[in-house]
Amino acid sequence: MSADRKPVFLIVDDDPVNLSIVGECLINCNYSILMAEDGESALQKAENARPDLILLDVLMPGIDGFETCRRLKSQESTKDIPVIFMTGLAEAGHRVKGLESGGVDYITKPFQGAELLARIAIHLRNFELTRKLREANENLEKRAKELEKSELRFRSFVENVNDIVFTLSTEGVFTYVSPNWKDTFGYELADTIGKPFVPFVHPDDVINCFSFLKLVLETGEKQKDVEYRVLHKNGTWIWYSARGSILLDPEDNQISFLGIGRDISKRMQAEEESLTLERQFLQAQKLESLGIMAGGIAHDFNNLLQSMLGNMELAARGLANDSDPQKHIASAMISGKHAAHLTDLMLTYAGMGSITKKALNLNDLVRENTHMLRSAASTAVSMELSLSAELPAITADEAQIQQLVMNLITNAAESIEEQPGTIRLTTGIKECDQTFLASSLLEEKPLPGRFAYLEVSDNGCGMSKETIKLIFDPFFTTKFTGRGLGMSAVMGIMRTHSGALFVESEPGKGTTFRALFPVSESAQPATVQEPVTTTRIIDTTPLPPLSGLALVVDDEKPVLKVCTKMVKLCGFRVITAHDGVDAVVKFREHADEIAVVLMDLTMPNMDGIAAMSEIYNIRPDTKIILASGFNEEELIGRTTTGQAPSGLIRKPYSMDLLEAELRRVVQ
């Protein structure tokens, strides 16, 4: 009831005098009144007017006051209106009956006006309080139903969404986790709620998570996103991203931190794979660039060595074997051959080393070269062999695999700083899938399958991750001595054999290299034949002399000059050309006379392949020998189109080797 509205009372009495007296008393107190002289009219007026209070006589014609009160209380629209009985019946039984019928008070006539007004004021106040309480209860019930619906919607959302919903106290303790917590991480809800979040988060991510929690609680603003790893019950880590906000009560008081976490493992895996591919691409570019550089340097070195060694050999031919100049030249030639070995190592790194592949058993190679392998380490370093009982054959170049093992053992021996030490050679067979092979250090990964492996491990000083990234670069070394090409050659050999290479090392914990070679399913290991005693017949018939006109082609003047002299000493007359274009012109001029062409492969203007093709067009039966600093396989690979050359010779070559190749091709 509003403060500016007058209370409305319904007075019910069959005596007009009583109606008048009571009505006047109420009007004087600023109340509005309605009057009725019997129960029926009272019920109708109460239904229509909805008064704030009813003063009801008991003894009336028709239905009495008790029955009228009962009917008022039985109707929804009038049941809450307070009823005060006014009657001359003073017996206790009537009072009880009146209260039982629904009355709130019982006044016997005659009564004082002040008493009536006091009782009316009390019941009006009680009625107003009751009304407010009822409205409050109704609002509470309505709000409870709304909260229940909201809770049902929230629960339905939480139970069906893939994200994890959780709440934390200001101290970082779980106060709630959604039911899918168990399915996602394997923990029971009861084992999680009440526990701090720290044991569930990766140690490296705890500080970030605490900073995120503090930021949300202090600013009161929604924050996104913190990324962290959650420990699954099985011991694995799952990447998650969470958004956070403050959870408030109805009075806007802070209750806790509300977080929604989403699984981002696939995204993180994709990013990691992308970074891995990017690193592999950059590494491949780096290796390709280094390979091209190493191949180019080796090619140029071989040209220089061809001139140096060729001239020294020519000089030595005119000297007595015992003379000091001859001895000096021989010593210089040994150094030159060592330099040629260095170029071989560079070509091996570039994948252009000289190779002859055949069926090979790693166990046999290790056993046959044990003495030589032991010589690579000092006597204080012991060598242990653990060779697999049955090892299938691989297709490989024996000399290169021997070089690989020697380089790995040398590297292991030099890493053992505190003597004595141990180097262990192990062989075995392993079935490898794509996932395992993806970790190979080589940019090109072999196909899954069976692999024979050779493992070299030591208990030396070990390496850091940074050093491991550099050890295969040409000329990188951690030693005061050495050229830094041994491990580069290992990388090149593994690349040439389409293998896989792995290294495990930590500072102070030694190093293990594992080289895996695809098993050759078709090739069989060579069997050891029993020696057969034969009588060797030495042919002493002198070889027929070489003669005719030779065309020698090379763009390097020193090389062209020394090769010309060597060919002349073999018995030929010589004309020369300085590149492919010049060679074609000279050949066309002397096509009918030229017996053989000795031509460099790599030249400006027109290379050896193009010039060879032009010469074959002029005379298809021409005998052509291609010379290069690259290996034979590389030469063959570059002459796959058109007619093949008659012969191939690799720089630097000796006089004997050149004469043998010329004789083979011409005769």
pLDDT at residue number 532: 38
pLDDT at residue number 525: 45
Tell me the pLDDT tens digit for each residue of 6-37.
889 999 998 888 888 888 888 888 888 899 99
The backbone torsions φ and ψ at residue 373, rounded to the nearest 5 degrees and listed phi first, read -65, -40
In eight-state DSSP terms, residue 511 is E
The CATH class for the domain spanning 161-263 reads alpha beta
Q: Residue 488, SS3? A: helix
Give the residue among 646, 639, 638 at the shortest CA–CA distance from 662: 646
Peptide bond into 507 cis (omega under 30): no
Query: How many C-beta atoms lie closer than 10 Å to residue 505's C-beta?
Result: 22
pLDDT at residue number 221: 84
pLDDT at residue number 347: 62
Whether residue 60 contacts residue 39, with contact meaning beta carbons closer than 8 Å, is answered with yes
Give the pair of three-digit tokens for residue 202: 């990766």
The predicted model gives 599-611 an average pLDDT of 89
Give the count of alpha carbons within 13 A of 457, CB side only. Answer: 17
Minimum mean pLDDT among 243-247, 302-306, 570-574, 585-589: which range? 302-306
pLDDT at residue number 377: 66
pLDDT at residue number 334: 77
Higher-pLDDT residue of 92, 470: 92
Whether residue 383 contacts residue 426, with contact meaning beta carbons closer than 8 Å, is answered with no
pLDDT at residue number 344: 66
The per-residue b/e assignment along 507-540, b for 16 or more CB within 10 angstroms, e otherwise, is eeebbbbbbbbbbbeebebeeeeeeeeeeeeeee
Give the residue among 159, 157, 153 at the shortest CA–CA distance from 182: 159
Burial of residue 292, with CB atoms counted within 10 A of its CB: 0-12 exposed, 13-18 middle, 19 or more buried: exposed
Q: 381 has which bridge partners?
A: 421
Could you give the CA distance from residue 83 to residue 105 in angstroms, rounded to a whole number? 7
How many angstroms separate the first and last alpha carbons of the chain? 132
Q: Residue 191, SS3? A: helix
R_g over Cα of the chain: 53
In eight-state DSSP terms, residue 179 is T
In eight-state DSSP terms, residue 169 is -
Could you give the CA distance from residue 451 to residue 514 in angstroms, rounded to a whole number? 11
Give the residue among 71, 21, 18, 79 at the shortest CA–CA distance from 41: 71
Minimum mean pLDDT among 79-93, 259-273, 472-486: which range? 472-486
Three-point CA angle 600, 602, 608, nearest 5°: 60
pLDDT at residue number 534: 40
Could you give the CA distance from residue 313 to residue 319 in angstroms, rounded to a whole number? 10
pLDDT at residue number 538: 47
Q: Domain locations in the chain?
A: 8-135, 161-263, 277-349, 357-518, 549-666
Which string of DSSP letters, residue by residue, matches 245-282?
EEEE-TT--EEEEEEEEEE-HHHHHHHHHHHHHHHHHH
Query: How many C-beta atoms lie closer than 10 Å to residue 168's C-beta?
Result: 23
Whether residue 201 contacts residue 226, with contact meaning beta carbons closer than 8 Å, is answered with no
Could you give the CA distance from residue 426 to residue 408 in angstroms, rounded to a whole number? 13
Give the residue among 345, 319, 346, 347 at the shortest CA–CA distance from 333: 319
Which range, 51-65, 284-298, 374-388, 458-472, has the best average confidence (pLDDT)?
51-65
The predicted model gives 114-131 an average pLDDT of 84
The CATH class for the domain spanning 357-518 reads alpha beta
Could you give the CA distance from residue 310 to residue 627 in angstroms, rounded to a whole number? 14
The pLDDT-based confidence of 620 (bands split at 50, 70, 90) is very high
Mean pLDDT rounded to a whole number for the chain: 82
CATH architecture of 8-135: 3-Layer(aba) Sandwich (3.40)
Does position 70 have pLDDT exceeding 90, yes or no? yes
Single-letter amino acid, residue 527: T
Whether residue 231 contacts residue 202, with contact meaning beta carbons closer than 8 Å, is answered with yes
Answer whether 8-135 and 161-263 agree in fold: no
Could you give the CA distance from residue 146 to residue 150 in angstroms, rounded to a whole number? 6
Higher-pLDDT residue of 239, 383: 239
Domain 549-666, CATH among 3.40.50.2300, 3.90.1170.20, 3.40.50.170, 3.40.50.1240: 3.40.50.2300
pLDDT at residue number 481: 43
Does position 216 have pLDDT exceeding 50, yes or no? yes
Give the pair of three-digit tokens for residue 530: 């029993």
The predicted model gives 162-169 an average pLDDT of 86
Long-range Cβ contact pairs of 571-577 (< 8 A, separation 24 or more) = 571/545, 571/546, 571/547, 572/546, 572/547, 572/548, 572/596, 572/662, 573/547, 573/548, 573/549, 574/549, 574/550, 575/549, 575/550, 575/551, 576/551, 576/552, 577/551, 577/552, 577/553
Does position 591 have pLDDT exceeding 90, yes or no? yes
Q: Work out the percent of the chain whose per-residue pLDDT is above 90.
A: 27
- What Cα–Cα distance (Å) separates residue 469 from each residue in 38, 387, 650? 110, 29, 33
